Chains A and B, each alone.
Chain A
Amino acid sequence: MSLIKYIIKRLLIAVVMFVVIMAIVWVFIGFIPGSPIERPLARLTVGFEPHEIEAIRQQLLHDFGLDKPYFMQLLDFFTGIFTGDWGLSISEQHFKYEVFDLIKVYFPRTLEIAIIPMIVVNLAAVKLGKYTAVKRGKTGDHVFRGLAIVLVSLPAFWVAILLQYAFREIVPAVTFGLIDLPIVGLYSTKYTARNVPYVTGFRTIDSLLANQLDLFLDTILHLIIPAMVFFIAIFGHMLRPARSCMLDVIENDYIRTARAKGCSEKDVINKHAFRNALVPYSTFIGFNVGYFISGAAYVELIFAFNGIGKAMVTALLNTDYFMIRGCVVIFCLINIFVNLAIDVMYAILDPRISYG
C-alpha cells in the first residue's frame, strides 16, 4: 500500500537526518575545550607522584575510550547510539556510570510532567478554537484572544514559583486545609526508603506494576501542580494556531456549500471545518515540541524533580563531556521522532498528499 511506502520513505529520511545531526553534534562536542578526563584526574590524583599520575591518566583514557584513534571514536559513537553505549559520566557523584542509564532514569521524570498536559492542551485548544469560529467578533472571541496573549507573555518559571508559594501558604488557609497539595519532589519523605523496580522509568506506571497503590496515588498528588503549571505554560502557544487554523478554514467555499446543503451550524463546524483545520494545526505541534520539552525541564527544576533539567545543569557545571553529549542526543531524538509522527499523521489525515 502506498501509505506504508510513504511511511518507510519518511522513516528513511528521518534516519538520514538523524545521522547528519549526530555528526554535527559530534563536531560541536569536539570543540569543548580541554580533555574530558582533566577533572577526574585532578580529583583522583591528589598528591601523587608524576609517574603514578601518568599511569592513572592512561588508565582513565582507556576506560573512557579516548585512546583510540579519532575515526574509531566516531564509529564507536555512531554505533553506540543504537546499541545504548553513550559513554561514561565523569561527575563525582556518578563516576563511570553509563550515560545511557543515567538518562534512562532522569528523562522519564521530566516526561511524566509533560505527557498528559500536552494531550489535554491539544484537546482544550481545539475545543476553544471551534468555539471561536462560532463566536467570531463577539466578546467570547476577544476574551479568547486576550487569554492567549497573556498566557504566552507570562514567564513559566515565574508562574511556577508563584503557584508554589500560593499552594503552600494561601490555598490551605483558604480551604481550611482541604487542598494541601505537596509542591516539592516526586514523592513524600515517608517513601524515600522504598525502591520501585525500574520498568519504564515513569514512577506512576512502575509503582502500579509493583502493586504499590499508595505510592502511585502519592506520586499523582505530587504531579498535579507541576502538570498544571506546564499546562499554563503551553496553552497559550497552541491557542493561537488553533484559532487561526479554524478561521482560515471557515472562509472557504466548501463551508458555504455545506450550509447550502442544509447542515446545521454544529455539523458545519464539527464535521466540515474541524477536519480540514486539523491538518495545518498538526504541523504546529511538531514545530513546538522542542520548546515544550525544554519548558518541562524548567518546570521540573523548580519543583525539584531531579530530572533531565537538573542533570543538564549539573553536567554543565562539571563539564561532563559525555553527559552533555547524551543530553543533546536525547533531545534531538525526541524531536526527530515527534516530527516523523506528525508527518505520518498529516499524510493519514489529508488525502491530498500524494504518496511515493
Chain B
Amino acid sequence: MASINDIIDNIIFSGLIVLISIFLSRLINSVISSNKRVPSRILWKSNLIAMAISYGIWILQTFIFGLILDFFVPMTLHVILVGLFFGVNWFFGKKIIKNEIKRSLIGLEERLKEKEKLRREMDQKLKEEKVLLDVQDLITYFYTEEGIVKAVEGVTFQIYEDEVLGLVGETGCGKSVTALSILQLIRPPGEIVGGKVLFQGLDLLKKTSEEIQKFRGNQITMIFQDPLNSLNPVMKVGNQIIEVYLNHKMDELYGEAGQLTEEIDFIRSNLDLKKTLINQLKESITEIKDQMEDTNEQIIDKKSLEIIQQKEDELSVLFKETKGLKKEYNEVKAKSNIFSVARKWAAEIVKDVGIADPERILDRYPHELSGGMRQRVMIAIALACSPKLLIADEPTTALDVTIQSQILQLMKQLQKEYKTSILMITHDLGLISELCDRVAVMYSGYIVEYGSIFKLFKTPLHPYTNGLIRAIPRVEKRVDDLAIIPGMVPNLIYPPSGCRFHPRCEYCFEPCPTNNPKQIETEPGYFVACHLYDPKYKDMTKNAIENPKKIKQEVG
C-alpha cells in the first residue's frame, strides 16, 4: 500500500506534464506552415477533450496501481501519457475540423448566391448611374508638433466605370494623401476631418475599420511606389498573393474545393469496389488451394492450376489499378485543400500579369526578384479579386524607363481585360497622356483643373496648368532659357490666403488673395478652379489677362 502523499505527488507531476504538452501543442501549431495549421478555437476544444481523457486514464492508472500494487510508473514511461495526449488531440482535432467544415459548407450555396445577386445589383446600379467613386469636399489634416498641416483641402472629383483618371501634381501637393484617405489608411497624427467618399453609393468615410477591411483588397485596391519596401521581405511572394484570397474569397475557395469532394467520393467508392473484388479473388484462390490440399491427390489438376493462374493474373491487374487509383486519390485530396486552390488561382493571376513560369516565382522572396517583376507582383496582388477600382500611387517612379513602358503596357492591357477603373497618381505628364482619359491637376491640396485630357493639353485654362505644360521642353526647338513657374511650393502649415497659387500667378488680380476659388464648369464635364473664369469678375479679367505680371524669382 503506497501512501497518499506519493499518489498525490504522482498526480501533480502528471498534471505538470499534461500542461507542458498543451503548451507544446500550441507552440507547434503556431510555427507550422499555414496549410496544416489548426484554428485556435478548435485547438482549445480538442486540447480540453484530450486532457480530460488522457489525464483521467492516467489518474485511474495511478490510483489502481498505486493503491493496490504499490507500483508507480517510472518517469520515462510518462512518454506514454504524452503520446496518449497527442494521439487523442489529433483524432479529435480531425473530427472537429470535419464538423466545422461541414457546418461552414452548409450555408455555402446560399451565401455564394447572395454574393452573386449583390454584385449583379451593384453592376446594374453602376450601369445606370455610371459614377463609381464620388469624392466630395475631402479634407484631411495632419496635427503635428509644428502646426496643422492642411494637406488636402476640399478635393472633389468623380471616377466613372471603366475609365482611367489621372491625378497630377508636384511632390507635396497631397495626391498620395487623397488616395490614402479614400481607403482610410491615414494613421495618426493625420485625420480625415470632413467630406464624403461615395463608392457605389456607400459612404466609405463613415464605415468602421472592420467594415472597410472588406473593401480594401476586394473592391478598391492600391499599389504603391516602391515595390521593394512595399512587399513583406520575410514572406514568400506566393503566400502574399494567397493571403488576399484567404481574406476575401473564403466561400469561393470552399466552393471550388467542395466541387472536388464529389470526385473524391467517386474515386473512393471505386477503391472500395476494387478492394472487395481483390478480397473475393483472394478468397476463391485460397479455397481452391485448400481444396487441392484436402483431396491430397498427387495428380496435379491442370484445370484448377489454370484457374489459379487466371485468378492471379486478374489479381495483379487489380493491384496495379488500385495503386493508380490511390495515387489519383491522393492527388485530388491534396488539390481539394483550400490552400492548393488558392495557389492555383495565384498562379493564374501571376501568369496574367505577364510573368513566365509562375510556379517558380510563387516560391521566391521579394528581394530575389527584379524591380519590374516586383511591381508586376504588386499588380497581381491588387487585381487578385477583380476590383472595381485600382488606385496606383506613382507605380513607375522607382523603375527604369524601359521597365516603365512595360508596366504601362501591362496596365493598359489589364484595364481592358478586367474592366477596372484606375486612379493613376503621378507627376509625369507623359504617363498621363498615354494612359488616361481624364485628368485632374492638383496644387497644394485642392484640384485646380479637371476634365478631358485632350482639352487640357490643347487649351490649358488654369495658369498653373498652363505653366506646367509650357515647362515641358520640346525637342525640336532650341531655347536659351527653359520656361519655369517662378516661386516655390507653399508651406502647408501657413498656406497663402485665398487662392493658394496667387503668389506665383502671372494673372493674379483683385479677388485672388482673398477669396477661395470654387470649381467652375466652363464646358460640360470640364472644371477649373480659378477666378479668371468666374462670370462675376468678367470685367476685371480682361485687364488681368492683357497685363500679366512679372513674378520675382525668390531665392532659397
A and B: partners? yes
Interface flags, B180-195, vs A, CB<8A=1, else 0: 0001010010000000
- A262 and B214 contact, Cβ closer than 8 Å, known pairs A253-B229, A253-B230: yes
**Contact A262–B230 (Cβ < 8 Å):** no
- A275 and B235 contact, Cβ closer than 8 Å, known pairs A137-B188, A265-B209: yes
**Contact B216–A261 (Cβ < 8 Å):** yes
A208 to B230, CA, bound (A): 52
Which chain A positions have C-beta within 8 A of B248? Answer: 262
Which chain B positions have C-beta within 8 A of A214? Answer: 5-6, 9
Nearest-Cβ distance from residue B417 to partner chain A, whole angstroms: 21
Interface centre among B183, B210, B224, B232 (most CB of A within 10 A): B232
**Contact A213–B210 (Cβ < 8 Å):** no
**Contact B365–A352 (Cβ < 8 Å):** yes
Please list 26 pairs of residues, one from A and one from B, whose beta carbons are closer than 8 Å in the complex, sorted by A's number: A211-B72, A213-B9, A213-B10, A214-B5, A214-B9, A216-B9, A217-B12, A253-B229, A254-B229, A254-B230, A254-B231, A254-B232, A256-B185, A257-B224, A257-B230, A257-B378, A257-B381, A258-B232, A260-B183, A260-B185, A260-B216, A261-B381, A262-B213, A272-B235, A276-B234, A349-B234
List A218-276 residues whose CB lies under 8 Å from chain B. Answer: 252-254, 256-265, 272, 275-276
**Contact B247–A262 (Cβ < 8 Å):** yes
**Contact B230–A263 (Cβ < 8 Å):** no
Extra contacts besides A259-B185, A275-B234 (12): CB < 8 Å: A213-B6, A214-B9, A216-B13, A252-B229, A256-B224, A257-B231, A260-B185, A262-B216, A262-B248, A264-B210, A264-B213, A272-B235
Judged by DSSP, the binding face of A is helix
Interface residue? B201 (CB, 8 A): no
Interface residue? A350 (CB, 8 A): yes
Instruction: Report the nearest A residue to B368, measured CB to CB.
Output: A351
Instruction: Report the nearest A residue to B229, measured CB to CB.
Output: A253
A213 to B216, CA, bound (A): 58
Interface residue? B244 (CB, 8 A): yes
Interface flags, B147-159, vs A, CB<8A=1, else 0: 0000000000000
Which chain A positions have C-beta within 8 A of B13? Answer: 213, 216-217
Which chain A positions have C-beta within 8 A of B12? Answer: 217
Interface residue? B221 (CB, 8 A): yes
A residues within 8 Å of B by Cβ?
A: 137, 208-209, 211, 213-214, 216-217, 252-254, 256-265, 272, 275-276, 279, 349-352
B residues within 8 Å of A by Cβ?
A: 5-6, 9-10, 12-13, 72, 74-76, 183, 185, 188, 209-210, 213-218, 221-222, 224, 226, 229-235, 243-244, 247-248, 365, 367, 378, 381
- A350 and B234 contact, Cβ closer than 8 Å, known pairs A208-B75, A217-B12, A260-B183: yes
Nearest-Cβ distance from residue A85 to partner chain B, whole angstroms: 33
A261 to B217, CA, bound (A): 4
- A263 and B213 contact, Cβ closer than 8 Å, known pairs A214-B5, A351-B365, A352-B365: yes
**Contact B74–A352 (Cβ < 8 Å):** no
Selected from A211, A217, A262, A350, the residue in CB contact (under 8 A) with B217 is A262
A276 to B214, CA, bound (A): 25
Which chain A positions have C-beta within 8 A of B213? Answer: 262-264
**Contact B6–A272 (Cβ < 8 Å):** no
**Contact B74–A263 (Cβ < 8 Å):** no
A179 to B407, CA, bound (A): 70
Which chain B positions have C-beta within 8 A of A349? Answer: 234
Which chain B positions have C-beta within 8 A of A217? Answer: 9, 12-13
A-B pairs, 5 with minimum CB distance: A262-B217, A213-B9, A261-B217, A253-B229, A262-B216
Interface centre among A257, A258, A259, A352 (most CB of B within 10 A): A257
A252 to B228, CA, bound (A): 11
Nearest-Cβ distance from residue A50 to partner chain B, whole angstroms: 59
Nearest-Cβ distance from residue B387 to partner chain A, whole angstroms: 11
Q: How many A-B residue pairs have CB under 8 A?
A: 90
- A209 and B183 contact, Cβ closer than 8 Å, known pairs A261-B247, A275-B234: no
A297 to B247, CA, bound (A): 50
Nearest-Cβ distance from residue B544 to partner chain A, whole angstroms: 44
Nearest-Cβ distance from residue A252 to partner chain B, whole angstroms: 7
Instruction: Report the nearest B residue to A255, measured CB to CB.
Output: B232
Which chain A positions have C-beta within 8 A of B209? Answer: 265
Nearest-Cβ distance from residue B33 to partner chain A, whole angstroms: 13
Which chain B positions have C-beta within 8 A of A352? Answer: 233-234, 365, 367
Instruction: Report the nearest B residue to A272, measured CB to CB.
Output: B232
**Contact A263–B6 (Cβ < 8 Å):** no
A253 to B183, CA, bound (A): 15
Selected from B75, B76, B217, B234, the residue in CB contact (under 8 A) with A351 is B234
Interface centre among B224, B233, B247, B248 (most CB of A within 10 A): B233
A352 to B235, CA, bound (A): 11
- A253 and B226 contact, Cβ closer than 8 Å, known pairs A214-B5, A262-B218: yes
Which chain B positions have C-beta within 8 A of A137? Answer: 188
A252 to B243, CA, bound (A): 19
Which chain B positions have C-beta within 8 A of A259? Answer: 185, 216
**Contact B232–A260 (Cβ < 8 Å):** no
- A279 and B234 contact, Cβ closer than 8 Å, known pairs A260-B217, A262-B217, A264-B210: yes
Which chain A positions have C-beta within 8 A of B231? Answer: 254, 257
A263 to B216, CA, bound (A): 8
Nearest-Cβ distance from residue A41 to partner chain B, whole angstroms: 48
Instruction: Report the nearest B residue to A349, measured CB to CB.
Output: B234
- A260 and B221 contact, Cβ closer than 8 Å, known pairs A211-B74, A253-B226, A253-B229: yes
Instruction: Report the nearest B residue to A216, measured CB to CB.
Output: B13
A276 to B231, CA, bound (A): 12
A307 to B365, CA, bound (A): 48
**Contact B247–A256 (Cβ < 8 Å):** no
Which chain A positions have C-beta within 8 A of B224? Answer: 253, 256-257, 260
Nearest-Cβ distance from residue A55 to partner chain B, whole angstroms: 52
**Contact A256–B230 (Cβ < 8 Å):** yes
Nearest-Cβ distance from residue A117 to partner chain B, whole angstroms: 16
A63 to B26, CA, bound (A): 55
Nearest-Cβ distance from residue A355 to partner chain B, whole angstroms: 13
Nearest-Cβ distance from residue B328 to partner chain A, whole angstroms: 32
A211 to B216, CA, bound (A): 60
Which chain A positions have C-beta within 8 A of B226? Answer: 253
A168 to B196, CA, bound (A): 66
Nearest-Cβ distance from residue A72 to partner chain B, whole angstroms: 46
Instruction: Report the nearest B residue to A252, measured CB to CB.
Output: B229
Which chain B positions have C-beta within 8 A of A276? Answer: 232-234
A183 to B217, CA, bound (A): 58
Instruction: Report the nearest A residue to B247, measured CB to CB.
Output: A262
Which chain A positions have C-beta within 8 A of B76? Answer: 209
Instruction: Report the nearest A residue to B212, measured CB to CB.
Output: A262
Which chain B positions have C-beta within 8 A of A262? Answer: 213-218, 244, 247-248
Which chain B positions have C-beta within 8 A of A351? Answer: 233-234, 365, 367
Instruction: Report the nearest B residue to A258, measured CB to CB.
Output: B232
A253 to B225, CA, bound (A): 10
A349 to B31, CA, bound (A): 12
A217 to B217, CA, bound (A): 55
A352 to B367, CA, bound (A): 7
A279 to B221, CA, bound (A): 30
A26 to B370, CA, bound (A): 52
Nearest-Cβ distance from residue B381 to partner chain A, whole angstroms: 7
Selected from A208, A209, A254, A260, the residue in CB contact (under 8 A) with B222 is A260
Which chain B positions have C-beta within 8 A of A256? Answer: 185, 224, 230
Which chain A positions have C-beta within 8 A of B188? Answer: 137
Which chain B positions have C-beta within 8 A of A265? Answer: 209
A265 to B74, CA, bound (A): 48
